[in-house]
Structure 1
């Protein structure tokens, strides 16, 4: 039977080509994902290890934060000072102790625009040795900074900004721009900078003034003398540093291991997401594989029946078909593995080339597990998909050798299938309804999955009425070819359903994503118009904090009538401080002039009375009611109580819990940063006011001044970017679905050779044959598209309803242009997929076709 299976594979290699391609693409997605993730993770770990090559022990002050990250707490407890650094340097076995200060530093180019994205704009201190250079940051040109008027930049940032040694560089932390002289350019193995970030190096005193307080360090990095044991050195260093909860000492190896674990978790998440889309592609491939083997079995009815007649058992017949599947799967898996390696290498080159992603460099990693996974997936998916056709083949009776006709599905089998599909569909609809009612996203997901399975099982039943909708149009426009195409499309509902289902999956997911994206966009746009009364919002681009002086500077800007600054505060709640609550402090006198403050319950003047306002969603989750009193511990350790004065209607411009600034200000450090400043102008939103606000903030490239128009555009750009990425990842499943349509039509042409010959003989010309095949393909693709669009809208509606409490005013929006575009795309796919099969059908010789069995 093995030889028989091998001969069958070789005999039908043309008909199996599309199946091989489908499995190959899915396997390539899997292996490419694994290779890219392993390569990326290995490069990150290698880069990370370089950061700790000269560090034996690190002592970190967890309370020492960049001022822009300050949450309102006062500096309390022990700190790392120059005195501490000197003590540690005197510990036996210590060769050198480096005091480290770091934070954000935005670098503007010569036009004033920020270099980089704002999230990896690093500032640090330059620590020169006896020779005047810092070994951690080797100089490329010039020298290191020596005072508050100087700065050094990494070479790539200097090149991007067009700066040369001696130029004046515009730099900002969280306040006005500083104009500093560029004294040198340097290199670094800091992963953030290597990955495309920027590095600004100040002298130590300046860095301390900008990020901490004079004389204070965030970290002490200890380099040991040769032969010193790191564990013993760690013990000695711990005795030399101040004791406190905020002071933490670890060896360099421990820190490197922690970073490696973070990298591993990050790459695992990436791999999981990508593998999810690979799974979708493979799932689509299952329909194609099952369809192909079903058609092959049907075309070989006489051959398989003769094998039964000469003594082959059912088990042997099943085994022969499964052996074919193994051979096909193995071939596809090997080619898919090679293609996946190529995809990973190409993706790496693309990201580091034209896309300038600055991924860390490293060798391509092809792990044994990747090879095993790719081969196992390819073979298992193919065998799994071929199992039902193999069982069907084993049931062919020997008497079937007397006829070449395909054995129709039994009514009992169809009834069982329809019953199963109906049960799954009803369960899915029930779960969707329950998820929508209870706002349970997981339940909605389960319901969507069950509904998809149910509809897939019911597609043979659905195919006849849905395809029949197009029958009058086809007959009216195309005559006999149109009628024949419609009848061919519904002749074998199972085959039509399997072919269309592959396309349905992709269309369903793409439609649901599009509807959810359009719904979120509309809700966000409405919120930007109704929730925010301010003309402009001033905030840091990297979500860090504004310097508190910025609010006063903005208030003095020409054209400003009202401002309201917001700052976040975390307080401990409960009698023992076992819980915490994140609040936003606002100016009670002006907040209602720059934001819509609509109180559903309680007093509208609650803030002016010194009480809290809590959003309805937060109140429901935490059980807050008007009049409730919260025992709180403020950041400075003082204890007090706060009363819930009102329940606030959800508002995207306000936090879930807001507190009067006057209540918490006495308990905050003077340097506590601001979240944002809301500004209303005398003459509304004008370009003059916008420029005045930029000037008031010193032209800081890290500070963004945005109006409603910019906020809308930014939100839309973010959502569009996410959708485009998802579309790209789903593209593989659509490509595989197209291959399925091509394969089905090509094999359908082969098995209907006699029929096509007879049609030619009675007068249907080659153009009519081509048109018939193309229209049949068009009908199958439109059927899949219609079902996919319908399912996608239903699933998206359920998903949107679960977001109703989280996103104010969200309603389901079905974009008509995009929806029509998906159906048009399905039609185009059907027509393109039929080009080769239609051409092949039209070229068939009439007499040879009529004689075929």
Structure 2
């Protein structure tokens, strides 16, 4: 039987080709993902290990966070710095060969044309310690020794074209600094290796920029010969003040490696999820192929039964065929996956540290198992059907229509699953329960897949008036689509799955973008919002500088600080009470800004309701920065939004409690309003700083919408593999259907149906199936987008479902186009059949 199976595979190579390609693409997605993430993770881990090579023990504050590392909407962390006296004490330890004070923070560098180097997220600054810092070997020039001097990493110098002696414009917290490039160094810093930049200042300058005079972010110790890291750590811990901690270099390298592994695991999980979708779609292609092959070989399989083959042997024969197909596809997919990983690594270029391609044994095993198991799983039902063919069927027709009982059972299961899934989505939407909506979405999609044969007949009946316009070709196309509803359903379901996910993402993204636009329009009245490129906070001097600029009429910082309010952590916002009403759209439900200067605050309505506050209530605030407690009176309650909420109080009240005044955003109005003149005025006042963004409310929302659009584009690309496999399924079904109907097509040609109409018949059949799948996918996608939207509404009150009719129309046109393109080869083949040979075919 195995030899029989092998001969069948070799005899049907052309018919199995699309199945091989479908499995190959899915396996390549899986293996490419695993190889790429393993390679990137290994490269970052090795780079990270190198960066800790000269660190035996590192001392840092327990809340250590570099300036500029706080998340958007969060108050910048009030840091505990390490002072010079601790550095001196650690330097006297018997186990320490060297001790270095380290500083770091956000540093934006301008290219020669004025643009920002990199994306702003990995542009860092630090200190060069002394005249020779072993962390940063100099390859050109000398160490920075004056406030106006810097050294740059060699990779940034190569990218920007700067040379020794050039003046470089940079920014740390708003104001532009002009520094002379005096040195070029190499570094093992993983962020630099991944496309970031590192600028080094002399220690006093770095302390002024990133900490305080005489203070450090971190102290790094190198163990003396004969002293272990653990022993040195024990010596260090005896001297540490409260609020600081010591860790060995090995621990820090392992911690960094774990973080990298977690990040690559997350990336791998996301990519593998899309690979699973592609393979799931591939299952329909494989199952359809083997179902048609079994149907076309009814007589052959019946004869095997007649000469003594058992049901189990017939089943094993079909599964053996699928094993061979899966093995070939898995092997080819694994090879293609390695090429894909190499291509992705090449596209990342300098954004990923150098390193070898990593092909782990688990990747090989995953590729083989996925390819073989998916193929055999998809072929199992056709194999069972093949085993049930009675010997007497050897004398019957080639094609056996599905039994009425089988369709009734399938329809009952499909209806039950769909009803359950819809109920779960509705329940989850009502209770804002993401798990219920997620489970309901999966169950509903499964129910639709099972129900597709039942839905195909009424759908094709609706298409009949349009198909009639094409005469006999249209009539024949409709009859072909309903002749075997299971086949039509499996072909349409593959396309439906991809379009369901794409439609859901599109509707949710469009609704989010519309909601964000409305939020900005309703919340922001200012002409411009000023912020740093990576959400690093601006220096408090920037707001004062803008207020003194001629042509600027109103300025208010949005100054954040952490507090404790009645046992709850609360991020509060300091504003200018005299100008904030002209810059923000504050709609008060009770009270006002009056007397806020006199120990008052205002709060959004949701917070006030949660805490039970009313105008006139006194609220105790404990500032985390200095632990001082102050009692303030609620002067007003305003309508909050996702862009504007929480407690607001005057900067005059807040500033005395802040050690370091920094502003995530500054709101500005000008005499000229929104115009190029006013933009130029502000940018000039800021020194044409490449790291500072001057944006209108529309540009603020555009930034957010671009991120949503970018994410959506990535999702489209990842789901594109599933759509490609679905298209292969349409091609495969049509091609095998043409082969199956060779005699019928020959008879049609013999009675006068010309080649053009034969091609038209196959094309119309393909378009009808594709549009059927698209209609189901778009309809189901809209329903699931509604369910997801109800979850978002619970967190984002301004969210409202928006139907992107133009995009959905494009999806429909693309589905029809897919149908036309998928039919090109099968239609051409059908039209070129030899009439006499086709009539004689069995």
- Shorter-normalised TM range: over 0.9
Distance 1:559 1:808 in 2: 37
SS at match of 1:469: helix
SS at match of 1:566: strand
Q: Decide which of 357, 363, 385 is 1:364's aligned counterpart.
A: 357
Distance 2:390 2:701 in 1: 67
Distance 1:250 1:316 in 2: 65
For residues 242-321 of structure 1, the aligned pairs below 5 Å read: 242-244=240-242, 246-321=243-318
Q: Give the structure-2-normalised TM-score.
A: 0.95
Measured against aligned partners, the alpha-carbon deviations of 1:527-551 in whole angstroms (never above 9, x if no partner) come to 2222110000011111111101111
Question: In the superposition, relative to structure 1, how do residues 73 and 529 fare at CA in structure 2: closer, same or farther (>3 Å)?
Answer: closer
Q: Does the 8 Å contact 2:107/2:172 carry over to 1?
A: yes
Q: Give the structure-1-normalised TM-score.
A: 0.94
1:123 aligns to what?
125
Distance 1:631 1:390 in 2: 74
- Could you tell me how far 1:256 is from its partner in structure 2? 0.4
Q: Decide which of 644, 662, 681 is 2:670's aligned counterpart.
A: 681
For residues 113-512 of structure 1, the aligned pairs below 5 Å read: 113-128=115-130, 132-239=131-238, 241-244=239-242, 246-352=243-349, 357-476=350-469, 478-512=470-504
Q: Decide which of 678, 688, 702 is 1:699's aligned counterpart.
A: 688
Q: Does the 8 Å contact 2:193/2:354 carry over to 1?
A: no
Q: Does the 8 Å contact 2:488/2:769 carry over to 1?
A: yes
1:12 aligns to what?
12
For residues 415-814 of structure 1, the aligned pairs below 5 Å read: 415-476=408-469, 478-574=470-566, 579-600=568-589, 610-615=599-604, 624-626=612-614, 631-635=620-624, 636-641=626-631, 648-669=638-659, 671-814=660-803
Distance 1:434 1:490 in 2: 36
- Could you tell me how far 1:830 is from its partner in structure 2? 1.0
Measured against aligned partners, the alpha-carbon deviations of 1:280-316 in whole angstroms (never above 9, x if no partner) come to 0000001111111111111111111122222222222
Question: In the superposition, relative to structure 1, how do residues 619 and 392 fare at CA in structure 2: closer, same or farther (>3 Å)?
Answer: farther
For residues 33-44 of structure 1, the aligned pairs below 5 Å read: 33-44=33-44
Q: Does the 8 Å contact 2:174/2:532 carry over to 1?
A: no
Distance 1:294 1:406 in 2: 11
Alignment of 1:102 onto 2:101: no
Distance 1:608 1:91 in 2: 53
132-141 or 764-773, larger mean C-alpha shift: 132-141
SS at match of 1:199: strand
SS at match of 2:693: strand
- Could you tell me how far 1:787 is from its partner in structure 2? 1.1
Q: Does the 8 Å contact 2:298/2:393 carry over to 1?
A: yes
Distance 2:752 2:79 in 1: 94
Q: Does the 8 Å contact 2:456/2:485 carry over to 1?
A: yes
- Could you tell me how far 1:402 is from its partner in structure 2? 1.6
Question: In the superposition, relative to structure 1, how do residues 157 and 655 fare at CA in structure 2: closer, same or farther (>3 Å)?
Answer: farther
Measured against aligned partners, the alpha-carbon deviations of 1:566-620 in whole angstroms (never above 9, x if no partner) come to 111111244xx5x422222223333222111123466675956755544455567
Distance 1:483 1:609 in 2: 83
446-455 or 603-612, larger mean C-alpha shift: 603-612
SS at match of 2:563: strand
Distance 1:796 1:644 in 2: 40
Distance 1:784 1:247 in 2: 61
SS at match of 1:136: coil
Distance 1:260 1:66 in 2: 20
Question: In the superposition, relative to structure 1, how do residues 7 and 582 fare at CA in structure 2: closer, same or farther (>3 Å)?
Answer: same
Distance 2:461 2:167 in 1: 74
20-29 or 674-683, larger mean C-alpha shift: 674-683
1:58 aligns to what?
58
- Could you tell me how far 1:384 is from its partner in structure 2? 1.2
Distance 2:265 2:789 in 1: 28
SS at match of 1:814: coil
Q: Does the 8 Å contact 1:133/1:143 carry over to 2?
A: no
Distance 1:301 1:66 in 2: 72
Distance 1:707 1:421 in 2: 52
Distance 1:305 1:505 in 2: 35
- Could you tell me how far 1:398 is from its partner in structure 2? 1.7
Q: Does the 8 Å contact 1:18/1:743 carry over to 2?
A: yes
2:814 aligns to what?
825
Question: In the superposition, relative to structure 1, how do residues 430 and 311 fare at CA in structure 2: closer, same or farther (>3 Å)?
Answer: same
Distance 1:150 1:362 in 2: 33
Q: Does the 8 Å contact 1:596/1:651 carry over to 2?
A: no
434-443 or 11-20, larger mean C-alpha shift: 434-443
755-764 or 626-635, larger mean C-alpha shift: 626-635
312-321 or 35-44, larger mean C-alpha shift: 312-321
Question: In the superposition, relative to structure 1, how do residues 604 and 150 fare at CA in structure 2: closer, same or farther (>3 Å)?
Answer: closer
- Could you tell me how far 1:226 is from its partner in structure 2? 2.4
SS at match of 1:470: helix
Measured against aligned partners, the alpha-carbon deviations of 1:36-75 in whole angstroms (never above 9, x if no partner) come to 0111100110000000111111111245655556847767
Q: Does the 8 Å contact 1:482/1:775 carry over to 2?
A: yes
Distance 1:426 1:646 in 2: 49
Question: In the superposition, relative to structure 1, how do residues 710 and 197 fare at CA in structure 2: closer, same or farther (>3 Å)?
Answer: same
SS at match of 2:354: coil
SS at match of 1:571: strand
Distance 2:637 2:380 in 1: 60
Distance 1:395 1:539 in 2: 71
SS at match of 2:761: helix
1:112 aligns to what?
114
Measured against aligned partners, the alpha-carbon deviations of 1:512-540 in whole angstroms (never above 9, x if no partner) come to 22222211121122222221100000111
SS at match of 1:803: helix
Distance 1:8 1:512 in 2: 42
Provide structure 2 residue ranges, at least 5 long, that are not aligned to the other structure: none
1:92 aligns to what?
94
Q: Does the 8 Å contact 1:431/1:443 carry over to 2?
A: yes
Question: In the superposition, relative to structure 1, how do residues 159 and 367 fare at CA in structure 2: closer, same or farther (>3 Å)?
Answer: closer
Q: Does the 8 Å contact 1:27/1:378 carry over to 2?
A: yes
Question: In the superposition, relative to structure 1, how do residues 680 and 846 fare at CA in structure 2: closer, same or farther (>3 Å)?
Answer: same
Measured against aligned partners, the alpha-carbon deviations of 1:12-46 in whole angstroms (never above 9, x if no partner) come to 12111101110110010000000001111001100
Measured against aligned partners, the alpha-carbon deviations of 1:75-94 in whole angstroms (never above 9, x if no partner) come to 76xx5222222221221122
